[in-house]
Amino acid sequence: MLDIRSFIDSIVCGVRTEEILTCSKQEDLNVNKQYRVIALNNLIENIPVFKLKDVWDKVKNVLNKAGVIVIKTSLYENPNELGDHSGDLKQICCNKQTEGTLLRECLKQNLILAESGEDCFAFVRREELSFFSDEQQKSFITHHDKRLNQFGISTKEIYSEGDYRQLVPGAGRMLISCVAENNKKYQTQALRLVQSIRWFGGKTAGANIFVCMVDEADPEFVKELNKWNVFVRIVKRFSTLHPPSNKLRLFELPEVASYDTIMLLDCDTVMVQDPYPFIDGDHFQADMAAGATVPIHLFQKLFAHYHLSLPRQRYFTSVSRQPTIWYCNAGVLIFPNAILKTFYPIWKNYTIDLSQKKCLLERRYFFCEQASLSIAFAAQPVPFRRLPAQMNYHLTSNALYRMNNCDPVIIHYHHMNNELGFIKNVTKNPSVIRRVNLFNHRLRRHSNINNSFKVDDHSRPAQKGAIRFRRRFPKTSKALPNDLSDSPSPNWLIVAFKRSKNP
């Protein structure tokens, strides 16, 4: 690692110690004098990206004319990596930098990357270049241009969103989120989803995770989420008539604007592999619904009601293989921010309207937000790319399910779990069985559940003729604690018996 003082001396000649403000936390910037050098020492990576503007404003306020900003930070290949903090998830850096993200921030702040060495980077204000010597100006501009040219970008007065995309391609900086009701069922599901991302997410394991709680959040649950470096937000209920539509509240968080890609997951999903290779960052991505839960005759009525042309049935549902119009499952949705800005208001308006017209969906009202998504997409099409089935793998015992050889990345288990969040294996797909077993094993190891709990009854398909029931411990046993952290043995045991041939 390069010593930050040595790096400063190589850039700014004759600078005195009292002319340098070294900051290791944001509060260090709360000063009333100006400095020749502002050194952010392993600070920027611990400032949430949505709070970075405040930091830059403070830096500029305390920086002298012809001043230099020095940032000491590690660079990563991917801003969503877990990094070196798998042992202590509270220490995950929430704003990891790649060379591209650092350059993008430099351009947005109208700065010049004057010099760099190992993990140190020096910036000067573009408009103050004339305060430096001719030799320094030439050196600063040459270094800046060289760095930009590595990404195929030339120096210009104003940079476009396309330029920024070249610096940060693909999914970029990701926000992953779920929206949960404040009850034990959804708390457990949300926690298991968070854990699965941190355990199995690969290049996305360190992404910023937001858990949105509807109306209120149990303080003990928030405390548990904090252990996993999660941002918790309280959101207003979207609809009292249609609770699944509450998920739309995520897109109204002001923090969303600070991310390149937003991934919304249902609470009843777990991540069992790295989804990063499947996310292109340029298209709205989702998979078709598992079945024709909103049949074509209802879509005919809906599209006529909203004076829209009914699309052709060009797609097939992902599980039942029924022909359908563009009708996606809303359990895994991936939006580039540029698309979300224009598309979300339309989806929101159709969802509000349709949720108040229950008669239009008849007995399929539960799928209101998926139907409104189809209507919004027809009203304003956006670049779309269908996700492969492994990115939203519906855990089902359906014998007709075509994905027998599919190795899932995100498992949508629906009700195939127990109260502790262990997932049942109801498929013969060996890859799915392996992923479920890995998740259950990791969860069991984390939770220190003792051998009296037969997890294997949930991580293997049941034998033919087996029945399951609960046997409760005596009344003197301890109840399941309210804290969802490492909990002691559960207060019930699941046992499977083979039916006897001779009753």
Q: For the domain that residue 226 is a member of, what is the CATH number?
A: 3.90.550.10
Query: Does pLDDT of 162 surpass 70?
Result: yes
Within this chain, do residues 147 and 192 fall inside the same structural domain, yes or no? Answer: no
Label residue 471 by pLDDT band (50, 70, 90).
very low
Closest CA to 176 of 151, 203, 149: 203
| Contact indicator for 209, 197 with CB cutoff of 8 Å | yes
Is the domain of 206 the same as that of 156?
no
Domain of 149 in residue numbering reads as 4-167
Backbone angles phi, psi at 446, to 5 degrees: -70, -40
Residues 208 and 292 occupy one common structural domain: yes
Same-domain status, 46 and 71: yes
pTM of the model: 0.87
Neighbouring residues of 184: CB distance < 8 A, sequence distance ≥ 6: 419
> H helices of 380-498, where?
430-447, 456-459
pLDDT-based confidence at residue 451 (cuts at 50, 70, 90): very low
Q: What integer is the mean pLDDT of 412-419?
A: 93
Domain assignment present for residue 10? The answer is: yes
**What number of CA atoms fall less than 13 Å from residue 453's CA on the CB side?**
22
Task: Check residue 232 and give its pLDDT.
Answer: 98
pLDDT of residue 400: 55
* pLDDT for residue 490: 28
* Site of tokens 């858990």: 211
Give the β-pairing of 261-265 and 174-180.
parallel
Residue 482 pLDDT exceeds 60: no
What CATH number is given to the structural domain containing 112? 3.40.50
DSSP bridge pairs for 468: 496
Instruction: Tell me, yes or no, whether 141 and 234 share the same domain.
Output: no
Alpha-carbon radius of gyration of the chain: 26
Residues 127 and 266 in one domain: no
2 falls in which pLDDT band (50, 70, 90)?
low
* pLDDT tens for each residue of 397-410: 765 555 667 999 99
Asked if 198 and 102 sit in the same domain, the reply is no
Average pLDDT, the chain: 87
**Number of structural domains, the chain?**
2
For residue 267 the two structure tokens come to 């609470």
Query: What confidence tier does 349 reach under pLDDT thresholds 50, 70, 90?
Result: very high
Judge if 217 and 270 occupy the same domain: yes
- Rounded CA gap, 396 and 415, in Å? 10
Residue 461 has pLDDT above 50, yes or no: no
